[in-house]
């Protein structure tokens, strides 16, 4: 099959297009997908660069990509909820069992991919495969952070730092669908978009120091985590919570040892979230899409042969919404 493969960690130059890669072998609890489109996430180039090798190991060759949308072409003996011909999307996890770290095994940058049936949801009928592939990882991250970690509720005041990127745009829309009052932080060129999606206010981080905002918030969702959270804890209401999804030594320490943070001067609740592949959560997201409460924004779509350009764009950190790979012509 055709695939993008890496055989070592490194720059975009390690991304190789191959057209005779063996098709993956499906286990009893998995399905085999014909991939029509794959999403591109910062996670992909972080893995490519070797940033996560301590957690993921260094097994090569490796096919990147965790977001897939396509059609089921074979199902394992234990699979009940999906059948051949179903149009599905998923945060793909090629592991037969979910790993203890929660990290999903990639494989979406290919003509065919396997994933556990419990990672799948039916593709909403009102969107294309490219749109569907742009959703799972980023929307699940936003959904799980807001629902399972921050437990947001109607009327909460929510501050989103990095509101115009892949995760941020979903977080903004999910928070609004749940009745929150949202302040979006992003560059000025994206204010029109975030205000159009219902943000109650937009702040340009280039011209305003967010540490000096006069308002208080119940939830601060720090999508980009580009400053120490101790520096903005005064923006939280007494029972407020900071949630982030960026892995750094401080966030890992914070997750495990909130008491240690207290000693270091952080007086509020902090929590770090790592996205989990979940067909159940993805089905909830699919409902929001079908009710037109959640839209996806694709800045650009690439073919497999343009994967290096696509990764370089994602690495720039200036993507509005999502980037996808179109595999429908393979």
Ligand X SMILES: NC(=O)c1ccc[n+]([C@@H]2O[C@H](COP(=O)([O-])OP(=O)(O)OC[C@H]3O[C@@H](n4cnc5c(N)ncnc54)[C@H](OP(=O)(O)O)[C@@H]3O)[C@@H](O)[C@H]2O)c1
* 112 neighbors 35 (Cβ within 8 angstroms): yes
Q: Does 66 bind ligand X (CB under 6 A)?
A: no
DSSP string, 265-320: T--SEEEE------HHHHHHHHHHHHTTS----EEEEE-GGGHHHHHHHHHTT--S
Task: Work out whether 73 is an interface residue with ligand X (CB under 6 A).
Answer: no
Q: Is residue 62 part of the contact set for ligand X (CB under 6 A)?
A: no
Return the number of the residue (62 or 79) whose C-beta is nearest ligand X.
Answer: 62
Instruction: Map residues 201-220 to x or -, x wherever contact with ligand X holds by CB under 6 A.
Output: ----x---------------
Strand-pair category, 62-63 with 322-326: unpaired
Check residue 187 for interaction with ligand X (CB under 6 A): yes
Contact between residue 235 and residue 215 where contact means Cβ atoms under 8 Å apart: yes
Residues 98-127 binding ligand X (CB under 6 A) are none
Which residue, 46 or 122, has its beta carbon nearer to ligand X? 46
Least Å distance, CB 118 to ligand X, is 18
Interface with ligand X (CB under 6 A), residue total 29
Q: How far is the CB of 244 from ligand X (least distance, A)?
A: 8
Nearest distance, CB of residue 247 and ligand X, angstroms? 6
Residue span 122-161 as binding mask against ligand X, x where in contact by CB under 6 A, dash where not? ---------------xx--x-------------------x
**Contact status: 63 vs ligand X (CB under 6 A):** no
CB 178 within 8 A of CB 153: yes
CB 69 within 8 A of CB 130: yes
CB of residue 318 to ligand X, shortest distance in Å:
5
Q: Does 317 engage in binding with ligand X (CB under 6 A)?
A: yes
Judged by CB under 6 A, the residue of 166, 233, 241, 282 near ligand X is 166
Q: Please answer whether residues 91 and 65 qualify as being in contact, where contact means their C-beta atoms are separated by less than 8 angstroms.
A: no
CB of 74 to ligand X, least distance (A): 29
CB burial of residue 168 (10 Å; 0-12, 13-18, 19+): buried
Query: Of 69, 119, 130, 164, which lies in the binding site for ligand X, with binding defined by CB under 6 A?
Result: 164
Phi, psi dihedrals of residue 117, rounded to the nearest 5°: -60, -30
**For ligand X, which residue has the nearest CB?**
165
Nearer to ligand X, 120 or 171 (CB): 171
Comparing C-alpha atoms, which of 132, 190, 195, 141 is closest to residue 170? 141
Q: Do strands 157-161 and 217-222 pair parallel, antiparallel, or not at all (unpaired)?
A: parallel
Nearest to 199 by CA among 225, 156, 163, 165: 163
**Binding stretches for ligand X (CB under 6 A):** 41-43, 46, 137-138, 141, 161-162, 164-168, 185-187, 190, 205, 223-224, 226, 245-246, 274-275, 317-319
């Amino acid at each position: 099959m055709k695939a993008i493969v890496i055989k070592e960690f490194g720059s975009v130059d390690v991304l190789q297009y191959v057209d005779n890669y063996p098709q993956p072998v499906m286990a009893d609890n998995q399905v085999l997908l014909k991939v029509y489109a794959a999403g591109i996430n910062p996670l992909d180039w972080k893995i490519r660069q070797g940033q996560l090798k301590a957690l993921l190991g260094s097994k090569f060759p490796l096919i990147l990509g965790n977001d897939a949308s396509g059609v089921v072409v074979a199902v394992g003996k234990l699979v009940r909820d999906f059948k051949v011909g179903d149009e599905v999307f998923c945060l793909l996890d090629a592991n037969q069992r979910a790993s203890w770290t929660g990290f999903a095994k990639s494989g979406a940058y290919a003509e065919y991919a396997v994933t556990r049936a419990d990672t799948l949801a039916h593709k909403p009928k009102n969107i294309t495969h490219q749109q569907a592939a742009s959703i799972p990882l980023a929307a699940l991250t936003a959904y799980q952070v807001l629902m399972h970690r921050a437990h947001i509720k109607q009327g909460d005041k929510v501050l989103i730092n990095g509101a115009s990127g892949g995760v941020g745009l979903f977080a903004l829309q999910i928070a609004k669908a749940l009745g929150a009052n949202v302040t979006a932080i992003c560059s000025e060129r994206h204010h029109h978009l975030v205000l159009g999606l219902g943000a109650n206010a937009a702040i340009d981080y280039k011209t305003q120091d967010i540490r000096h905002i006069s308002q208080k918030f119940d939830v601060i969702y720090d999508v980009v985590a580009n400053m120490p959270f101790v520096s903005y804890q005064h923006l939280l209401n007494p029972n407020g919570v900071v949630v982030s999804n960026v892995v750094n030594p401080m966030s890992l320490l914070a997750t495990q040892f909130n008491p240690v943070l207290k000693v270091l001067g952080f007086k509020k609740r902090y929590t770090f979230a790592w996205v989990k592949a979940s067909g159940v959560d993805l089905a909830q997201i699919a409902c929001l899409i079908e009710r037109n409460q959640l839209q996806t924004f694709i800045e650009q779509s690439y073919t497999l042969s343009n994967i290096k350009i696509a990764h370089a764009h994602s690495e720039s950190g200036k993507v509005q919404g999502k980037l996808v790979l179109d595999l429908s012509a393979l």
